[in-house]
Amino acid sequence: MAGLELLSDQGYRLDGRKATELRKVQARMGVFAQADGSAYLEQGNTKALAVVYGPHEMRGSRSRARHDRAVINCQYSMATFSTAERKRRPHGDRKSTEMSLHLKQTFEAAVMTQLYPRSQIDIYVKILQSDGGNYSVCVNAATLAVIDAGIPMRDYVCACTVGFVDETPLADLCYAEESGGVSSLALALLPRGGQIALLQMDARLHQDHLEALIEAAMTACKGVSKVLDQVVRQHLQEASVNSAE
């Protein structure tokens, strides 16, 4: 078997997208009534559920509490049925722990934690189906959940992965692309100010290409933010209609 051709000469990717095109993003907010905020987000075949509790008093050891801001607690997990082969350990492995930490960093940068001293905000994200770009889908879902919970943020945090194939940056990689030996980069952006909340890459890439890649990632993130904005607006509209009734 010849390997997969990630980008054809005509400029189409494996699934028919062009290099800069995102996968189809669909989202719903307020999917659970009991949590303070929740959202469900699909980005192509990657599906994630995010739930937010808080801000509330510190639970567990109070020593972790900060007098000037809220502590954000993130937990990332993957459903056992989220991959082609059943996962043995849904959370707590090294990868999940790392991902939780990344999410925490991202949201500490975005949420206005100083408004809630000595309190805690919990963000739980679960990947229901995984098809590449898990981190960015989690960030996007969690953003919606945080908004749903009514916690003030500086801006939407939008994330997107970008890969580099044939001198071309590919936005929003799917699993087949991620595993095809592409050096990829994940970026979380606060789009209005253009501030980077998190940038992560663990592959080799020539420095000359880095700028182009970040540029592409930022464009992609801005694309995501537009979609999220729409979702939020629609949700609010529905909510206001409901409450008016």
Partner 1 sequence: MLKSKTFVKKTRSGGVMKIVREHYLRDDIWCGSESCSECKQESTVLQRDACIESNLCPYPHYLIPDTNVVLHQIDVLEDPVIRNVIIVQTVLQEVRHRSAPVYKRLKDIIHEKEKHFYTFTNEHHNETFVEREPGESANDRNDRAIRVAAKWYSQHLKTSKSDPDGLKVVLLTNDQGNKEKAEESGLLVYKCEEYIKSLIANPELVDQLALSNDDKNEITSSKMLFPEHLPLSRIQAGIKSGSFLQGTFRASRDNYLEATVFVQGEGEDSTEVLLQGLQNLNRSVHQDVVAVQLLPRDQWVAPSSVVLQDEGAAKDDDAEEEEDRALRISAAEAARKPTGKVVGIIKRSWRPFCGMLNVSHIKESTRHLFTPADRRVPRIRIETRQASTLAGQRIMVAIDGWPRHSRYPNGHFVRSLGSAGDKETEQEVLLLEHDVPHQAFSQAVLSFLPKMPWSITPEDMVKREDLRHLTVCSVDPPGCTDIDDALHCRELDNGNLEVGVHIADVSHFIRPGNALDKEAANRGTTVYLCGKRIDMVPELLSSNLCSLRSDVERMAFSCIWEMNHKAEILKTRFTKSVINSKASLTYAEAQMRIDDTTRTDDITKSLRGLNKLAKILKKQRIKNGALTLSSLEVRFHIDSETHDPIDLQTKELMETNSMVEEFMLLANISVAQKIYDEFPDCAMLRKHPAPPPSNYDILLKAAKSKSVEIHTDSAKALADSLDMAKVDNFPYFNTLLRILATRCMMQAVYFCSGMDSDFHHYGLASPIYTHFTSPIRRYADIIVHRLLAVAIGADSTYPDLMDKPKQSALANNLNYRHKMSQYAQRASVAFHTQLFFKSRGILNEEGFVLFVRKNAIIVLIPKFGLEGTVFFDTKDKATPNLVFDEEGPALKVEQHTFCIFDKVKVTISLDDSNIQHQKIRMSLIHPVIPGVSVPAPDVEPQAKKPKLDR
Query: Which residues of the shown chain bind partner 1 in the complex (CB under 8 A)?
Result: 1-6, 8-10, 12, 14-17, 23-24, 44-45, 84-85, 131, 174, 176, 180-181
Q: How far is the CB of 132 from partner 1 (least distance, A)?
A: 10
Q: How far is the CB of 1 from partner 1 (least distance, A)?
A: 7
Nearest-angstrom CA–CA distance, 244 and 176: 47
- How many other CB atoms sit within 10 Å of the CB of residue 224? 28
Q: Report the residue number, 2 or 241, with the smaller CB distance to partner 1.
A: 2
Nearest-angstrom CA–CA distance, 52 and 39: 9
Q: How far is the CB of 202 from partner 1 (least distance, A)?
A: 17
Q: How far is the CB of 180 from partner 1 (least distance, A)?
A: 7
Retrieve residue 47's tokens.
Answer: 């599906």
User: 207-244 and 134-149 are packed helices; what angle lies between their axes, rounded to 10 degrees?
Assistant: 30
Asked if 112 and 65 count as a contact pair (C-beta separation under 8 A), the reply is: no
Q: Report the residue number, 14 or 31, with the smaller CB distance to partner 1.
A: 14
Q: How far is the CB of 4 from partner 1 (least distance, A)?
A: 6
Q: Report the residue number, 122 or 131, with the smaller CB distance to partner 1.
A: 131
Q: How far is the CB of 24 from partner 1 (least distance, A)?
A: 6
Q: Which segments of 26-157 does DSSP mark as H helices, in order? A: 94-110, 134-149
Q: Report the residue number, 68 or 85, with the smaller CB distance to partner 1.
A: 85
- How many other CB atoms sit within 10 Å of the CB of residue 77? 19
Q: What value does the CA radius of gyration of the chain take, rounded to a whole number of Å?
A: 18
Q: Report the residue number, 84 or 241, with the smaller CB distance to partner 1.
A: 84
Q: Report the residue number, 154 or 209, with the smaller CB distance to partner 1.
A: 209
Torsion on CA atoms 65, 138, 31, 24, rounded to nearest 10: 160
